[in-house]
Structures are given as C-alpha cells and as structure tokens.
Structure 1
Amino acid sequence: MGSAKAWEPGWCKVNFDGASTGNPGKSGIGCILRNSNGISIKEISEKIRVATNNEAEFRVALRRLQLGKELGVQRIHLEGDSLNMVNVVHCNNTLSWHLNQWLRPILVLLATFDEFQISHIFREGNGETDKLSKMAIADGDPPLAL
C-alpha cells in the first residue's frame, strides 16, 4: 500500500498512470485520490492530446497535483508505476528538454503543498489507474488541451 505516512491523518494519496497507444499516439491519464483512510475521494480518466508514454506520465502528474489543490489537499503522497517520473521529481531534473516543459510546473505545484512524497509502485499494484488511463484512450470524446 506504499508508505505508512500516506495513511496518517491529513494526508491524501494519489495513484497515477499515463498511457499511450504509440510513441507518440493517442493518450490518456488516470488517477485515484484517496483520503488517509484509503477511501477513494476522486477518480479521473481523461483523454489528452497525442503524446509519448513519458509525456502522458508527466501530464498526469500535473493533473493530479492540480486536483489535489482544487480539493484543498496540503499533504500529498504520489504513487505511480513510472520509475522515470519518480526519479525525475526526486532529482528535479530530466535529460529531455521536451519533458522539462512539464517538469517545471510540477515542481512549482509541489512547492505549494505543506508536505509531499512521491514513490514508485510496480505496475501490478497500480492496475486501477492503468485501467482508467486506457479507458480514456478508448473513449470517443475529443482530447483535452492538456
């Protein structure tokens, strides 16, 4: 279930996943926000514009942080199956200038929380958000501007 801190009172945990049918291709994001009791507060399944797998992961990171702010969250634990995303946030740097356009606003938003954690979970433990991100790709709605 991740770090015990995420389940302390006042914390919210967000599981996230981004998916792409190509590199780049049709893409979607999925995330689940849970309170400190592990109860789902909000689930998101959204189509985004054409993206690579890495871009989809960065876009879902930005969206989940925006969602946390919209809901008034001050302590957030982010958990996803993209080890690249987790490592980039820990280092505050990516080797790709293209991904830096997504990293900068993520880091700015993270700084507005009282506390945050980000951790990796194996794909098998992140199945719910994987389904949400893939549902968004399959959905016939027009893509978001994200």
Structure 2
Amino acid sequence: MGKCMGAFVENLGVCTITRAEIMAAIRGLQMAWKYGYRKVLLQLDSTTAINILTSQDQTEHRYHNLVLQFQRLLQQNWEVRVSHIYREGNKVADFLANKGHSASIGFHVFESSDPGLTFWILYDVLGISQTRLI
C-alpha cells in the first residue's frame, strides 16, 4: 500500500462541468499511481463523464484527447474500477469542489488534517446518508 496522498483540488478556471469531472478523474488516477495504489475505485458523480470515459466509440469529440489520456492510464499494471456515486454520497468530493472554487488557478494539495476535510472523511467513512430530493 502506498503512502497517504492527501486531497487535492485543481481550479481550471472557466470550463464545463464535464471537462472538470474528466480532468479530476485523470488527476486522481495520476496521483493514485504516483503514490503506489494499484487497486482503485474511481467514483464519479457525473454519468455524462463516466459515459464519455468508458465509451468504446473512438470518434473524435471535444474531449477526445482527455479520453485518450484516461485510457492510457487504465492500461498501466493496476486494477481500476469506475463507478457512479451520487454527489450526496461523497461529501469529501463535494467539500473539495467547493474549496476549488475559491482557490487560485492551478493545482493545490490539502493535508488530511484540514478540519473540514477531516469531518467529511469521517462522514463518508461512517456511511452517514442524506436524503436526495428528486
């Protein structure tokens, strides 16, 4: 098992939500690989991003280069499973996304000792749920 990689946000500036989700998936996998994790569950709250990243359709589209980068990451010697999670089921990701909005443009790593981050990690680990209004 690798060492703890902490948490990160990347403020991309102005971009689509789908692009941000795809970029987060790529950055997350890059960091997981860097820190030695070889069994990874990648949970995304965007079914659109999941469909784009896992599609067998190789037609060029606006995210084609990012999809290729994602697929190259998957070809490394590791096990990665991609699945959907509702935003309410991953409060850590929601917390970090909100932090990213107020961060300067670029990549930022947060220590796991951040009080807000620690609270939401515990919330997720304990499986505390929240009602989703549809």
TM-score, normalised relative to structure 2:
0.68
Unaligned runs of 5+ in 1: 1-9, 13-34
Distance 1:44 1:92, change over 3 A: farther
Residue from 103, 106, 115 that aligns with 1:144: 106
1:58 aligns with 2:6: no
Is the contact made by 1:47 and 1:136 (CA closer than 8 Å) also made in structure 2?
yes
Is the contact made by 2:43 and 2:82 (CA closer than 8 Å) also made in structure 1?
yes
Following superposition, the deviation at residue 116 of structure 1 comes to: 1.3
1:120: which partner in 2? 84
1:107: which partner in 2? 71
Residue correspondences, number: 107
Greater fraction of residues in strand: 1
| Higher CA-based Rg | 2
Higher RCO by CA contacts (8 Å cutoff, separation 6 or greater): 2
2:48: which partner in 1? 84
Greater fraction of residues in helix: 2
1:30: which partner in 2? none
Paired letter, 1:77? L
Identity %: 24
Task: Tell me how far apart the structure 2 counterparts of residues 61 and 115 of structure 1 sit (CA, whole Å).
Answer: 15
TM-score, normalised relative to structure 1:
0.63
Paired letter, 1:70? K
Residue from 63, 78, 98 that aligns with 2:62: 98
Unaligned runs of 5+ in 2: 108-134
RMSD (Å) for aligned C-alpha atoms: 2.5
Paired letter, 1:122? Y
Following superposition, the deviation at residue 41 of structure 1 comes to: 4.8
